[in-house]
Amino acid sequence: MLEANFTIKPQCPHCHACHIKRHGKPKGRQRYRCHACHKTFMCTINTPFYRMRFLEKWLPYFTCMLDSLPIRKSAKRCNISVKTAFKWRHTLLSLPNKVKEQSLSGIVEIDETLFRYSEKGSRTLSRKAHKRGGDCAGRGRKKGDWVAVLVARDRNKQVFDECFDSADTVHY
């Protein structure tokens, strides 16, 4: 599918020149070469599938994800390593964040939800560590950092959502 989309409007990802030619087929995947900058590339460049190997195992792994199998069982079923299965899972789960609807039309409903900023799993904390038990924020939204999530949806069921980064954290 990536190959078909690329052949419709071929363009060099480095210099954006339109004059490119085929430049070999390593492991069955077409490689291209730009006449202007002489760089080689494949159709997966600038996509989440860039530098992912084992093309024939992507679809079976995706079906394992749809079946809600754990990483170890998915890796065993697709005959890949657990490290590769973990990397692929996070790559595939990040796709909806990269591909978003940019245009909403008609009547649009927008809502903002606030979640407490969490540094769980981080090796360095930007604050003093919390003790067990109790609510560290106190009452209301006076203390603590909050992360805002904006969700917009139109009547055609197109959805746009955006989670503001910790740099954009809302301080209430």
pLDDT digits (tens, 9 = 90+) for 86-144: 888 887 777 666 666 567 888 889 888 888 777 777 888 877 777 776 555 555 554 45
Tens of pLDDT, residues 12-57: 877 877 778 877 877 777 788 888 888 888 777 766 666 677 777 7
Residue ranges of alpha helices (H) inside the chain are: 2-8, 58-66, 71-78, 82-93, 95-98
145 pLDDT more than 60:
yes
Residue partners of 73: CB distance under 8 A and separation at least 6: 64
Q: At what angle do helices 58-66 and 82-93 cross, to 10 degrees?
A: 70
Tens of pLDDT, residues 61-95: 888 888 888 889 988 998 988 998 888 888 777 76
Q: How confident is the model at residue 170 (pLDDT cuts 50, 70, 90)?
A: very low
Q: At what angle do helices 71-78 and 82-93 cross, to 10 degrees?
A: 110
